[in-house]
Each structure stands twice: as structure tokens, then as C-alpha cells.
Chain A
Amino acid sequence: MAYAKITAMLLESLETHCFRNTSGKISWGPNLNIIYGDNGQGKTNWLEAIYLLATTKSFRTQRLQEAVCFGEELAIVRGRVACAQEVHRDLQVAVQSGTKTLIVNSKREAVTRYLGQLDAIAFTADELEVVRGAPDARRRFLDRGILSLHHIYVQTLADYNRVIKQKNRLLQDASNAEQSAADVLPLITPWNEQLISLGSQIHHARAGYVTRLNEVLERRLFGREEVTIRYVSSLEGKGDLSDYESLLAERLRLRLPAEIAAGYALVGPHRDDLGILFDGHEIRTYGSSGQQRSALITLDLAAISLYYSWRREYPLFLIDDIDAELDGKRIEHLLKHLEGRTQTFITTSKESLVKQYLTRANVYEVKEGLVAEARLLTNKSMSLVTEA
């Protein structure tokens, strides 16, 4: 395999130890990697391990301890990454009693220094919430994208959420005590001032990200229907959005009595949404399940292309259960689009798909519940080339 083709960010191999039901090592190909096996064999666990190594998070759970194999204390995911042709780094994420330890080249690193060595975008059943679910899934999609470009956004988000949490507590207490707006104002102002400054930063970051996503969106990737997106501020129609900071301040002032009555914060970008339209119709309500999947893939590809234009390298792209999510025609379109761009990892239970892509992909078969064994299938022999 020609590793030189893609110059940056390549996961060469991955080793797991007691991560869910996986233990073993797989060497990956630089382009398309297919993880094949019957349902319940642990295919997704390998994808999750890759995602964890890249982002230090799971796409399945907030509580990483769940990912430690039952009855074990420590789970380790280790990978070798080619950052450039001659630069290799060994990354490791260890999960033990709910905390994770991050290691780069055998040395412990803080999360801010760890991130950015490897990056991944994952298309999973859970991610479909972006096109199907409540606005918070779409806000998270945007925030994730912004974070992959600007790591310091993490502090803005954390501070904003903290301010909202503090403010909610104040409002709840005020609501229970039936306090008047005049009584609450001096106590709420110190928090609202921060909410205005942090909220404006978040608004501008998200609106700007959506604008740039729109510029690179392959609107008709999957056929005639056109995908468009727009950032929907919760302050839309309430005044001049171009002076967001002043508008937010004014709305906070006006809505204080309502916030006290509700007992939680009603005004700010934590109430915003991303509008995703398919041929002009709201996809969440009017889109078919296939259209929703197409739209999400289109968004993911736009995020990938934005990532590339910003950082001059592609993140890994992970697609879980590809045939459940997309039909054959769409898969073909998608994989063609990704060829020569991302190092792609997909899982499938369909043998026909494996046969179709055997010449263009590295295929690994995952078998047997508890200890997953990865086998590299070749055209002729389907023989065992395990390194575990």
C-alpha cells in the first residue's frame, strides 16, 4: 500500500486491550477499511476504539467506564499514527475507574495537547439525531465542528454552560421564593454580563461555521434534491441580529420576568438551532429516512472538507453499519467521493458489499463475541492474517 498518497494523519495500526469485547491489534490500510462480521460480533467496538483514540470521547456513551470490558478494571486503546511520511506517533488512551489517561510517545499529555494529533468524524445511528432529533443534537454537531478547527472554543463553551447552570439555579430559587424582577436583577446581572459576552462569541462562531459549511456543501451529492442549511438564532425576528450583543442584552432585560416565572434561562444561544432543508423543506419533519441520511452524510462531508481547507489534512471518517444507513447507490457515490481523501473505516454485515469493494479496500472480519479476532481477507484465500 502506498502510504505516501495521503500525506497527513493516517492511523497505521490500532491495538486494544479489554476495550468492550475487543483485544488485539489491527494494521489498517491508508484508504478504505471495511470491518465485516455478523451482528453482535464487535464491529462497532473497533470503530468506537478508533474514535476514542482520535477524540478521547466515545460516540456511544458519556461514561467511558462502560467501555471497559465487563469484569476488568483497565481498558487500553493504542494506535500508531503517521503525522507525516517520516513522523510517527504512538497514541494511547487508557480508561480506569472512570478517568482516562492520555499518552503520546510513552509520555503523559494533557488533553489540550493530546487533541489534534488525530481527528475523526463519525457517521453513526446516534448521529442521525442531528437530522431527526431535537435542536441540541444539531447544536452539538456545530460545536463539534468548530472545536475541530478551534480548540480554544472548548473554554468558551464550558464557561457558557457553567454560567447557564449558575443562572438557572438563581432563577429556580427566585421562582420558588416568588421574587420580583427588581429583586432578582442585581443578582442576575453579574451572570447575564458573562452570558452576553460568551453567548455572542458562540453565536458568531456557529453562524460563521454554518456560512463556511454552506460554501463547501455538495448540495446534490445524492441526486436531484438540494440540501441547504442555515443557522437559526432564537433571537431571530426579535430585532437587529447584526448587532447580536446589544440584541441579546435587550432580550435578557425584557425577558427577566418570564425567566423567573419559568425558573430557568430562556434567552441565549443554548436555545438556537440549525435549519436543515431538503429541497426547501425542513428535513426533520418532511424528509424520508433515506433523505435524512443523505443530508447528514452531506453535512459530514462538508465538515470534512472544511477541516481540510483549514488544516490541510483530512480527519478519519468512520461510518457505522453503512448498509443499514445507506442504499447501494448512495454508498457507491459516497465511497467514490472519499477515495484519495480520507482514511475511511466502515462496518458492514453484508458479504455482497465486501465482495464488491474487495479490490479497493482492506477488509477485516470480526468474529466471536467476547474476544474479537480481526482477520484480513484477501481475494483468493480469505485466510487468517492475524496479529493479535
Chain B
Amino acid sequence: MLEYAEPVIKLIDEFKRLPGIGHKSAQRLAFHVLRMSETDVERFIAALQEVKRRIVSCSICNNLTDVDPCRFCSSPGRDRSVICVVEEPYNLVAVEKTRSYKGLYHVLHGSISPIRGMNVEDLRLANLLPRLKPENNEGVEVREVILATNPNTEGEATANYIKHLLKPLGLRVTRIAMGMPVGSDLEYVDEVTMDKALTNRHEI
């Protein structure tokens, strides 16, 4: 005997496939859908379909976009000599929010994690090397690649791998710094971050 009617179970199962959604949340979402009006549901379905139909990945940087090349890659205002490598499109957004970075991006769509079945060949890396040539970059030579993968073991391994790939080419390869969040008090920083910040201290 099933807990709920079959269509409800199907919906709960679909929600459970989503990341970060457990059984209880899935159940809550499914019952919310049941209470929604017909028009609300249709708008929701249309949004899902539209995003799948219209969003493609940029052929240059792999960022998600509705125009190809994406707005960053086609913008004349960006500094084409610097490329910032990030794991996910939302990491790009985080860098972009600084408003101080004016270069280009490269989105890997993941990090190396053999235990999750994510290997080097699953990263969207193949189109990074050709980008570094001036003839593929509107005549501009790439001076620096910033590795802004996450500060965990997988992000670190990914950065290490790309570093070995790029170093022989003679361009500058940098890794984002790890340490203190700005605008907060020392006392609110966790011990691990504090330790990193102490290790990576610099002379002033």
C-alpha cells in the first residue's frame, strides 16, 4: 500500500532527485504544488521548459547564456588578457559581484573527484588551451590565468592539474588567496580560516 496516490508519489520522487532536497522537503514541495492554482503550475512548467530550450553554454567560456558567445566573451569592455577559471556558473557570479574583476572567465562545470566519477576528461577544459592563442582571442595575448576553484581538496586538485597544463606555456598562473573574510571581526573567523590567514600573511 502506497503512502499517497501514485501521481503524488511520482512528484515527491522527482523533487527528491534535486540536490539538497530530502524526503521531508520533497513532501512539502509536492503538497505546495497541489495547492497551487492551474495558472501558477503552468507558469512554473513553462519556466522549466524555457530554461532548457533557451539556455546554452557559451562556446568560448562554457558559461550558461542565452546568446552565444556570452555577454562576457563578446563585451568590448572586458580585459581579454586575463582569464579566471571557476568551477560553476554561480562561482562566476560570485567573482563578478566584486565589480573589480574585468577579465574573462572559463567555467569548468565541476571539479576533479574520482570517487564521484568526475575525472579530468569530464571537466570542460578542452576549449581552454585554444583560447590562449591570440588568433582565437581577438588578437590579444593572454597574460594570466587565475585559478579560482573552491578551497577544498577537489578544487585544489583541479587547480593543481590545470597549473601543470599551463605552466609550460610560460604564462602567469595564479591561485586565489585564502584567508580572512573582510568586514568581519577576527573573533568570528573559524580556526581553520584564521590559521590559513596567518600562514599566508604578507609584509606591509
Interface residues in chain A, defined as those with a beta carbon under 8 Å from any beta carbon in chain B: 112, 151-152, 155, 159, 162-163, 165-167, 169-170, 173, 186-187, 189-191, 193-194
Given known pairs A186-B161, A193-B160, the reply for A169 and B115 (CB within 8 Å) is yes
- Additional pairs, 6, CB under 8 Å, beyond known A112-B190, A152-B195, A187-B119: A162-B153, A166-B114, A167-B114, A186-B164, A190-B161, A194-B156
8 Å CB interface, B110-131 against A: 112-115, 119-120
Q: Among the listed B115, B160, B190, B195, which residue makes an inter-chain contact with A194, where contact means beta carbons less than 8 Å apart?
A: B160
List, sorted by A's number, 22 A–B pairs whose CB atoms are closer than 8 Å: A151-B191, A152-B191, A152-B195, A163-B153, A166-B115, A166-B153, A166-B157, A167-B114, A173-B114, A186-B120, A187-B161, A189-B161, A189-B164, A190-B112, A190-B157, A190-B159, A190-B160, A190-B164, A191-B157, A194-B153, A194-B156, A194-B160
Q: Which residue of B lies closest to A163 (CB)?
A: B153
The interface residues of chain B lying within 8 Å CB-to-CB of A193 are 160
Known: A151-B191, A152-B192, A170-B114. A189 touches B160 (CB 8 A): yes
Q: Determine the main DSSP class of B at the interface with A.
A: helix
Most-contacted residue by chain B among A173, A186, A187 (CB, 10 A) = A187
Number of A-B pairs, beta carbon distance below 8 Å: 49
With a cutoff of 8 Å between Cβ atoms, the chain A residues found around residue B161 in the complex are: 186-187, 189-190
Kindly report which residue of chain A lies nearest to residue B165, judged by CB atoms: A186
Task: Collect the chain A residues with CB atoms within 8 Å of residue B157's CB.
Answer: 163, 166, 190-191, 194
Cβ of A197 to closest chain B Cβ, rounded Å: 9
Number of residues of chain B lying within 8 A (CB) of chain A = 20
Q: Identify the B interface with A (CB < 8 A).
A: 112-115, 119-120, 152-154, 156-161, 164, 190-192, 195
Cα distance A151–B157 when bound, in Å?
25
Q: Is the interface of A mostly helix, strand, loop or mixed?
A: helix
Please indicate the chain B residues that have their CB under 8 angstroms from the CB of A159 in the complex. 152-153
Contacts of A169 in B (CB 8 A): 114-115
Is A166 within 8 A of B154, CB to CB? yes
Closest residue of chain B to A155 (Cβ to Cβ) is B192
Name which residue of chain A comes closest to B163, CB basis. A190
- A189: min CB distance to chain B, Å: 6
Task: Kindly provide the distance from the CB of B22 to the nearest chain A CB, expressed in whole angstroms.
Answer: 11
Q: Which residues of B contact A191 (CB under 8 A)?
A: 157, 160
Q: How far is the CB of B189 from chain A (nearest CB, A)?
A: 11
Query: Is A187 in contact with B120, judged by CB distance below 8 angstroms?
Result: yes
Chain A residues near B160 (CB-CB < 8 A): 189-191, 193-194
Q: List chain A residues, Cβ under 8 A from B159.
A: 190
* A90–B175 alpha-carbon span in the complex (Å): 44
Cβ of A189: which chain B residues have Cβ within 8 Å of it?
Answer: 160-161, 164
CB distance from A283 to the nearest CB of B (A): 35
User: Looking across the interface, which residue of chain B has its beta carbon closest to that of A192?
Assistant: B160
- Taking CB atoms, residues of chain A closer than 8 Å to B114 are 166-167, 169-170, 173
